Amino acid sequence: MVALDDETNDADAIAVGRRIRSLRQQRGMRLAELADAVGRAPSQLSMIENGHREPRLPVLRAIAKHLDVTPDELLVREELDPRSELEIALEREMRSPRFRELGLEPFRVPKGMPDEALHAILRLTGEIDRLRDERQATPEQARRANRDLRDLMREMDNYFPDLERVAGELLDAIDHPGGPLTQRAAGDIARHLGVTLHYAPDLPQSTRSVVDLRNGRLYLPDRISTDPRGPILQSLASLALGHTEPSSYADFLRQRVEQNYLAGALLVPEADAVAALSDAKKRRAISIEDLRDAYAVSYETAAHRFTNLATRHLGIRVHFLKVHESGTITKAYENDDVNFPADSLGSIEGQMCCRRWTSRAIFDVDDRFNPYFQYTDTGNGTYWCTARVEQSRQGAHSVSMGVRFDDTKWFVGRETQNREVSRHADETCCRSAPAELENRWRGGSWPNVATPRTLLATLPTGSFPGVDTTALYEFLEAHAP
């Protein structure tokens, strides 16, 4: 005997309803005839047969009695005819949340609809599910996407000619004379792209800026920390590059990298910067601080922009690290064979940086006015780095740029006496506590781990992960001219 609840579940209701209809038709009974026999209105029985209403146990027993079957036979999970199976599969799809998310209204499947049409619709809903799953990136998928993108950057020496060309065309369009890009020039680029700038106090918290493509408006928060050029140019970059809605997390990540690259190429124009860096190399006086000051950008922007130009134009291979004060690596790039810590997937972001490296050692330096330089002996050779600490909403981060020992001769700071030895591949380097401390405290402490949520949960869904689209569209509706 099949155990019966007061109500069948929604998924079974469709199959039960179809089985009732099939048995009724086999017995030559009209809908109204069966409805009258069980004491229900024909409309109510029609709802049950169509799976729109779950029959309660007394009604189910009455129907089974008049169809000369047991209640078990109505509930048993046996195959129906192929056509009924197709119709049931489509009705289940139409009642799913994802169908409603597309803004589609469920419809009655007509008897005359060809089986081929049902198959086609089901294949389309399956493809929608597949694309939706692709967009819902797990931490593992995100790390793979990050790794693949970093591999591409290494292959290109972090230099992308197409993005440099777009930057050059935009600067030519506003007759930029060279040197630092002013805030006024950023506004000129916006006008060239047909966009006006607007500052809004109620910008959705899940966004840094919003572009109203329909009305040609760029909305920015009314309180921008220090330099508004960066947020403006990053938003305009997507327009200039013709970005469309991301189809996957990897696509979203690639677009973010292109945005940042183009914004950096506008703030630190290639031709002028290469000329200045080439001259500094001749004088053996390359300095990230000088590049920062010459173009009035952050140290991170200057260091990252240097990685774009160093290998292609100066013949210098480099590495770049951004490390949170907790020791976690948040950004990384290398083409100089430095051996970054990585997980089993080859992902660097999220790994703990070695305590001996410049990126961690700088947090113990009291002098934050002057740059910090350090040589680090590793199992893969000796590297020299220059680093700074910068503040952000997420706390302090160190930004470091480094080169192999043989290339140190081109840089200011090569005479530093700061030196460390790192064997981060070896557990005894810094990942294990000194034996005396280990023996004293192991088993006598219990830390409450501050684990980043993204390590445990899937990333937010949607084309633009984490963006509240309802708040976004309400904002645009409220501000539209």
CA distance 329 to 324: 6
Do the strands 395-404 and 381-392 form a parallel or antiparallel pair, or are they unpaired? Answer: antiparallel
Reported in sequence order, the residue ranges of 309-424 that DSSP labels E, i.e. its strands, are: 318-324, 329-334, 372-378, 381-392, 395-404, 419-421
Neighbours of 369 (CB within 10 A): 5
Residues 112 and 187 in one domain: no
Location of structure tokens 């509930």:
75
pLDDT-based confidence at residue 103 (cuts at 50, 70, 90):
low
| Residues 113 and 166 occupy one common structural domain | no
The structure's pTM equals 0.70
Nearest to 231 by CA among 190, 286, 174: 190
**pLDDT above 70 coverage of the chain, percent:** 84
Which of 133, 159, 185 is the C-terminal boundary of a domain? 133
Q: Please check whether residues 152 and 115 belong to one and the same domain.
A: no
Confidence at 101, pLDDT banded by 50, 70, 90: low
User: Does residue 360 lie in a domain region?
Assistant: no
pLDDT at 18 over 70: yes
Among 327, 340, 324, residue whose Cα is nearest residue 402: 340
Q: 209 and 198 in contact (C-beta within 8 Å)?
A: no
Residues 100 and 162 in one domain: no
> Quick one: 187 and 226 in the same domain?
yes
Considering only 214-223, 383-392, 445-454, which range has the smallest mean pLDDT? 445-454
Can you give the pLDDT at residue 4? 41
Do 153 and 239 fall into the same domain?
A: yes
58-72 residues labelled b (16+ CB within 10 A) or e (exposed): ebbbbbbebbeeebe
pLDDT in tens, 200-245: 888 888 888 889 989 999 998 877 666 788 889 999 999 999 998 8
Say if 255 falls within a structural domain. Answer: yes
In the structure encoding, which two tokens stand for residue 77, read together?
A: 């999970």
Residue 400 within any structural domain of the chain: no
Mean pLDDT of 297-317: 96
In a domain, 182, yes or no: yes
Same domain, yes or no: 144 and 258: yes
425-432: Cβ within 8 A, 24+ apart: 425/339, 425/379, 429/354, 429/355, 429/356, 430/354, 430/355, 430/356, 431/352
369, part of any domain: no
Q: How many domains does the chain have?
A: 2
DSSP code of 408? G
What pLDDT does 120 receive?
83
What local confidence, expressed as pLDDT, does residue 385 receive?
Answer: 97
- In terms of Cα–Cα distance, which of 62, 37, 110, 29 is closest to 21? 29
In the listed set 78, 112, 133, which residue is the last one of a domain according to the structure?
133
- At 27-75, the pLDDT tens digits run 888 888 888 888 888 888 888 877 777 788 888 888 888 888 888 777 7
**Percent of the chain scored above 90 by pLDDT?**
39
Shared-domain flag, residues 146 and 117: no
The yes-or-no verdict on residue 332 having pLDDT over 50 is yes
Give residue 463's pLDDT: 60
Co-location of 94 and 153 in the same domain: no
Predicted confidence (pLDDT) per residue in 263-272, tens digit = 999 999 999 9
pLDDT > 50? residue 23: yes
Residues 16 and 127 occupy one common structural domain: yes
User: Is the dihedral angle over the CA atoms 94, 98, 100, 103 positive or is it negative?
Assistant: negative
CATH code, domain with 240: 1.10.10.2910
Clarify whether residues 231 and 257 are in a common domain. yes
Q: Of 259 and 137, which is predicted with more confidence?
A: 259
Q: How confident is the model at residue 5 (pLDDT cuts 50, 70, 90)?
A: very low
Is residue 357 situated within a structural domain? no
Here the CATH number for the domain that contains residue 117 is 1.10.260.40
Quote the domain boundaries for residue 80: 10-133
DSSP string of 315-333, one letter each residue: ---EEEEEEETTSBEEEEE
Of the residues 100, 133, 166, the one at which a domain ends: 133
**Dihedral pair phi/psi, residue 445, rounded to 5°:** -145, 160
**106 domain-assigned:** yes
